[in-house]
Amino acid sequence: MMRLYEMPDSGNCYKVRLILTQLGQDFERIHTDILKKESRTADFLKKNPNGRVPLLEIEENVFLPESNAILWYLAEGSQFVPEDRLGRAQVLQWMFFEQYSHEPYIATSRFWITLLNAEEEYKEEIEKRKAQGYAALDVMESHLSHQEFFVGNRYSIADIALYAYTHVAHEGRFDLTGFPQIKKWLKRIQGQANHIKIDD
């Protein structure tokens, strides 16, 4: 059985649990607390030298890190990845957008505020990230104003990647009031078959 090294609160880890569940794939969850530096032990670094979760153990001693690479590995060939060349590249486009232009602002603020409980200490850093976090939400809002999902008008791993931290953006003090298209899209994702919550 596949093993998922993960921290339950992490949106990046949640992405992987969500696709595994929607694919009907059994897996074992191995709790790895990054606040206790459990992803930086000598033993963990042998599994992933970059010291991060999620980490998927596909089979004994075959490890794959990076949440969006794991999504691709698991979903390729399924209904959650488009069949056409441009559609596949657009799924990747939105997944790279998520990791470069969205996660470092929205997820990082949530991490400091909600997981570390250190809003005061990181006040300046959180403030600095506001504009770029909202810029990412603006790009999403505009894209969703003319389509229901991110790629090819069909639910895909691009939606899963962007849903993970967008639906908990308020925990990083991002206000979605001015983003009606995003709010409708969040509901659309929650309505997909076999959807699970981040704390399930």
CB-side exposure of 135: number of CA atoms within 13 Å?
11
Query: For a second copy, which stretch binds (CB under 8 A), given 58-66, 149-157, 182-190, 192-200?
Result: 58-66
Question: Taking a C-beta distance cutoff of 8 angstroms, is the pair 51, 39 a contact?
Answer: yes
Interaction of residue 62 with a second copy, rule CB under 8 A: yes
Interaction of residue 103 with a second copy, rule CB under 8 A: yes
Reduced to 3 states (helix: H, G, I; strand: E, B; else coil), residue 4 is strand
Among 73, 119, 132, 176, binds a second copy (CB under 8 A): 73
Show contacts with a second copy in window 120-139 (CB under 8 A).
Answer: 138-139
User: Roughly how many angstroms between the first and final C-alpha of the chain, as a whole number?
Assistant: 20
d(CA 44, CA 139): 36
Interaction of residue 99 with a second copy, rule CB under 8 A: yes
Question: Taking a C-beta distance cutoff of 8 angstroms, is the pair 79, 27 a contact?
Answer: no
d(CA 15, CA 107): 13
Q: Residue 42 or residue 193: which is nearer to a second copy going by CB?
A: 42
Q: Residue 36 or residue 46: which is nearer to a second copy going by CB?
A: 46
β-strand partners of 56? 4, 64
Query: For a second copy, which stretch binds (CB under 8 A), given 15-23, 27-35, 101-109, 188-196?
Result: 101-109
Question: Taking a C-beta distance cutoff of 8 angstroms, is the pair 88, 81 a contact?
Answer: yes
Among 5, 72, 105, 150, binds a second copy (CB under 8 A): 72
Which residues sit at the interface with a second copy, rule CB under 8 A? 49-50, 58, 62, 64-70, 72-73, 76, 85-86, 88-90, 92-93, 95-97, 99-101, 103-104, 138-139, 142-143
